[in-house]
Amino acid sequence: MSALTTGVKRFNRENWKAYFLLFPSLLIFAFFMFWPFIYTIYLSFFDWNMISPTKEFVGLQNYIDILTDPKSYNIFGNTFIYIAILLVLNCVVPYVFAFVIDMVLKRFKGFYKGALFMPAFISLVVGSILFTWILNPVSGPVAIILGWFGLEMPIWSKMDGWVIFVLSLITSWKVFGYNFIVLYASINGISRELIEAARLDQVPLWRIFFQIVLPMSSATGIYVFIITIVQGLQYVFTPIKVITQGGPNYASSNAIYHAYHEAFVLYRTGHSAALSILTMVIFLVLLFIEIKFVERGIYYEN
Amino acid sequence: MKINRFVSIPWHLIFIATIFILIFPIIFAVGSSFKSLQDAYNNVLNIIPIQPTLENYQIFFNSLPAIQITVNTFIIAAVVTIFKVITSFLAAYAFVYFQFRGKTVLYFLLISTIFIPFTVTMIPNYLIISKIGLTDSIWGVILPQLADALGIFLMRQSMKTIPMSLIEVAQLDNLSHVQIMRDIVLPLIKPAVTSTGIWFFISSWNEYVWPVLILKTTDNFTLPLALQMYISSEGGTNFTVAMAVSVITMIIPLALYLAFQRYIVGTFTSSGIK
Amino acid sequence: MKEIRFENVWKSYGKTEVVKGLNFTIKEGERLILLGPSGCGKSTTLRMIAGLEEITSGELYMNDRVVNDVPSGKRDVAMVFQNYALYPHMNVVDNITYGLRVQKVPRSETRNRLDAALKMLKLEGYENRLPKDLSGGQRQRVALARAVVKKSNYFLLDEPLSNLDAQLRVSARKELVKIHELYRQTIVYVTHDQIEAMTVGDRIALMNEGKLQMLDTPENVYHRPANIFTAKFIGSPPTNVVEVTYLDGKIMFGNQSFQLSPMWVKQVEQSKTSKVAFGIRPEHLEINKTANKNTLKGTVKYVENQGNSYGVYVDLQGDEVIALSESKYWSQGETVYLKPFMNHIHLFNCETTNSIGYPAELDQEETTLERVLIHE
Ligand SMILES: Nc1ncnc2c1ncn2[C@@H]1O[C@H](COP(=O)(O)OP(=O)(O)O)[C@@H](O)[C@H]1O
Ligand SMILES: [Mg+2]
């Protein structure tokens, strides 16, 4: 018996068991993830209203339409503003919070962790409704308190800029806790000796953060960075849908919401599909740049 | 570590303020749900209702099939959770304890779907569900939700923390894979499985985007969809009812969280994401 | 026959070859030690016997059958792991008996084996504890008990004592030998610790870089190393090995020479080697302040306290050798004279690094067979 045949035989004998275990997952993914993914690419080359029996092949026209429509730039612009705000609120702030709670403070750590994580369990529809009322520019509690100081609350749901900011805030309310806990886990895993040694050398906190904690948790940092962009934009969908439906005049729409809008409000599946694919490509490019850029200094925990 | 008070006190203030902002809406919702509409408008800053009333809850129960809606939400979340926990566990087990052709590629393929925006699969999924006649049914809501790789990822992470030698001892004892799963792997990663399950349950309970596309009749609605019916951008006349529905929607996730808080925070902070 | 036979067994991970052509037999009922520096492939070899690693090429026989394709569970093997691999969620009793329950061993039989194991390994009173509530020594004994109750014909141990402190290790070694005398399984025991190898082993298989260097009794491995690697690996401080030239019955150290006794001269002439390596253990190298007949001159480099003696590092015309001395009064730069004990020298072929053999006359000398004390 040669070495090769022995190895291969063994290999194959166990092989089927692994595929058997994977089968349910693969079946589901094939139907509801991989095939749809491919079919969306296909649809992006057709003009179709989801109802008519025939689809018209239009080549790259859907992509051209999107790239030449000034509204698209508006929407991509909005998307980047959302990304920027979400990154600050759900990546930078939780990073600093996790660092401070884990390494700087001594008391109430458990309470802070538990309380900060809590909203992650609540529906964003609930969040949207609560904040719509709490931030109601006329009769909400915040408006009333601002009124005491003679300040007036902007009618944020009708104002460009403000609307994106408030919708991002509402989304952050939900997303913050999960990102915080994940980052906390990573920072908590950094060797205490290293930090103690730095403190003995009187290294200031901000230096410990930038020169030890940040590089040593960078693998998780990148993960959070990515999900903040990818999932953050999807989470924003809910408050947009519930509160503004993309308005006023697309001022709060982003690429995700607009793809939905094209498909299920305007019934332009080709545009929607092309927009989704473009969004994904932009995500991929972003991820690629980020990973390339950070890779040099990256430190993989375990 | 010695920390200067001048450093720690401002931080404590920042955290307390943040937590107040995060928690206040919840308290506010609970308070308002027991107020009459008039009370709610006139005494916005009085969190505690002057004359507590169940009127809002009654309106919800009278105007919509509230029990049916709650049951729907529960069934969907439970089925999704059970299915995803089982399939994720099996898949993770295969990825950790088997060598097979295409393993790395397959794992990468599955995990990368976490980063695909839902709009990319939304239209074809809608078409599939229509085609098999599941629109406006809870199965139409359930099926596409099952394609989620997060569980595979989390469970693989925690299985990898089990020393391989434990599995090898079992192999030497001629244990079957079913016995290894049941008697060794599952008991050892039980906290992670429980937390992942709770996370699945809550995500599905709160799911909005997909049900909103699929469900049409109120009898089939889930709680977030019912809640959506009470929205109008000005606050509207149904505002206190919306608060009552919000409370009903929040209560199970919050109860689960509070009951398993140490467990959940522990799992997310120890097995974590790396 | 419950023996284990390797026939040209190779193991590679991708392109890295880890075990390179093993050929040897482990006899039924013996305690064989797999010894070697860390990373040399001991664990891999043991795990191939257990069926936990696939064999890349060659055949492994157990009980006169090729077992390359026999799964672990069907090899009649019990194994003790370095980290003990106790199930953290099971108490002592469950850890020990879980395997038996799965194998459907009758209850009363399980009970008997458990009781015997608990008694022998002094684990009575700890039955309901979880591994995390046990000390290192107790955990090690639970792991041993779990392997013992299987009553397997093959008993494999991978550095089972390396996580224990020195004193526990001594008693655990005795326990292990006791168990073996009782059950007489075929034991394969991996260690990188030569003391353990000497005290536990019936025979030692010394490995380096995936190859078997020598397989023999502890005495022979110590006194008759088959090659330079063995000579240097066994013993502490290690054997001095210096490349020299052989000329007319003499060994040339640079411009100094050293007269070999007739039996060695015969041995060297027979082997027809001229480039030889000369080996001598530090304890077999006498160091003196005055010259004598057939001594080698050198200068002291430094002195190291070895506890019961002093290791004197001597520069011998560019080669460094160590001699053991009872005295510590050696000063740096001092001229000293070294005298190797003729009965204890080792000569190797420089090209092959193999020993040129030992004169037959030596076998008659009982001194060589006396077990040498090795300092821990
Ligand atoms: N799974 C593996 N993949 C690649 N190389 C490995 C693997 N396992 C062990 N090795 C390598 O094989 C060599 C021998 O390992 P091992 O048998 O564990 O050594 P020992 O037990 O003698 O210390 C080491 O160099 C190790 O790095
Ligand atoms: Mg080893």
Global ipTM: 0.89
Question: What are B238's two structure tokens?
Answer: 């149904």
Pull the structure tokens for residue C301.
Answer: 């480099």
Nearest to A185 among B202, B249, B269 (CB): B269
User: Which of B15, B31, B53 is at the close of a domain?
Assistant: B53
The answer on pLDDT for C328 being more than 90 is: no
Q: What topology does CATH give the domain A44-297?
A: MetI-like fold (1.10.3720)
Inter-chain contact C69–A7, Cβ cutoff 8 Å? no
Residues C322 and C185 in one domain: no
Q: Are residues C182 and C256 in the same domain?
A: no
Where is the domain boundary, C223, C244, C279?
A: C223
Contact (CB, 8 A) for B244 and B60:
yes
The pLDDT of C98-114, averaged and rounded, is 94
| pLDDT on residue A297 | 52
- In this prediction the pTM is 0.86
Distance C355 CA to ligand 2 centre (A): 28
pLDDT tens profile C180-216:
998 899 999 999 999 999 999 999 999 999 999 999 9
The token pair at C4 is 């284990």
**Residue B47 pLDDT > 90:** no
B70 and B47 in one domain?
no
| B235 plus B260 within the same structural domain | yes
For residues C95 and C142, the answer to whether their CB atoms sit within 8 Å is yes
- Provide the pLDDT for residue A298: 53
What pLDDT, on the 0 to 100 scale, is given for residue A246? 85
pLDDT at A294: 61
Q: At residue A142, does pLDDT exceed 50?
A: yes
Residue C163 CA, chain-centre distance (Å), reads: 18
Q: What is the CATH number of the domain that holds C312?
A: 2.40.50.140
For residue B250, pLDDT beyond 80: yes
Give residues 155 to 184 of A whose Cβ lies within 8 Å of B: 157, 173, 176-178, 181-182, 184
Q: Summarize the confidence of residues B139-148 as an average pLDDT.
A: 95
What residue's CA is closest to ligand 1, atom 16? C41
Residues B20, B85, single domain; the answer is no
Residue C354's pLDDT is what? Answer: 94
Tokens of B16: 């307390």
- Residues C267, C340 within the same domain: yes
CA of C38 to the centre of ligand 2 (A): 6
Does one domain contain both C316 and C367? yes
Number of domains chain C contains:
2
A71 in helix, strand or coil?
A: helix
Minimum-distance CB partner of B174 among C50, C79, C103: C103
Q: For residue A199, count other CB atoms closer than 10 A to its CB.
A: 16
Phi-psi region of C366 (alpha: psi -120 to 50; beta: other; left: phi over 0): alpha
B232 and B139 in a single domain? The answer is yes
Regarding whether B171 and B100 lie in a shared domain, the answer is: yes
Does residue B60 lie within any of the structural domains?
no
Question: What's chain C's average pLDDT?
Answer: 91
B77 and B25: one domain?
no
Cα-based distances in Å from C175 to B171, C143, C184:
26, 13, 14
What is the C-alpha to C-alpha distance for residues C1 and C22, in angstroms, rounded to an integer? 20
pLDDT of the residue at B272: 47
pLDDT band, residue B4 (cuts 50/70/90)? low
* Domain harbouring C143, CATH code: 3.40.50.300
What pLDDT shows up at residue C192? Answer: 92
Instruction: Specify whether C190 is located in the same domain as C208.
Output: yes
- Does residue B18 lie within any of the structural domains? yes
A residues 45-64 near B, CB within 8 Å? 50
Same domain, B115 and B249: yes
More confident residue, B145 or B234: B145
- Pair B149, B264 in one domain: yes
Residue C160 sits in which domain range? 4-223
Tell me which residue range forms the domain holding B240: 65-272
For residue B208, the domain's CATH number is 1.10.3720.10
Question: What dihedral do alpha carbons A119, A120, A122, A128 form, nearest 10°?
Answer: 80
Question: Cα(B63)–Cα(B58) distance, rounded to whole angstroms?
Answer: 8
Query: Are B74 and B47 part of one and the same domain?
Result: no
Specify whether C81 is located in the same domain as C199.
yes
Q: Which residues 175-234 of B have a C-beta within 8 angstroms of C?
A: 175, 179, 183-184, 187-188
Distance, CA of C28 to CA of C184 (rounded, Å): 9
Domain boundary, last residue among C223, C238, C266: C223
User: Are residue C175 and residue C271 in the same domain, yes or no?
Assistant: no
Do B49 and B78 lie in one domain? The reply is: no
Residues B37, B76: one domain? Answer: no
Of C223, C245, C275, the domain-final residue: C223
Are residues C143 and C51 part of one domain? yes
Residue B59 falls inside a structural domain: no
Q: Is C221 in the pocket of ligand 1 (CB under 6 A)?
A: no
d(CA B55, CA B38): 12
| B33 and B70 fall within a common domain | no
Residues C29, C203: Cα–Cα separation, whole Å: 12
Contacts of C301 (CB under 8 A, 6+ apart): C313, C314, C315, C320, C332
Q: Which residues fall within 8 angstroms of residue A151, CB to CB, at 6 or more apart?
A: none
Cβ-Cβ contacts under 8 Å for A184 (sequence gap 6 or more): A98, A101, A102, A113, B269
Domain count, chain B: 2
The band of C333, judged by pLDDT with boundaries at 50, 70 and 90, is: very high
Exposed e or buried b per residue across B2-21, where buried means at least 16 C-beta atoms within 10 angstroms of its C-beta? eeeeeeeeebeeebeebbee
Q: If you take atom 4 of ligand 1, which residue's CA is the nearest one?
A: C13
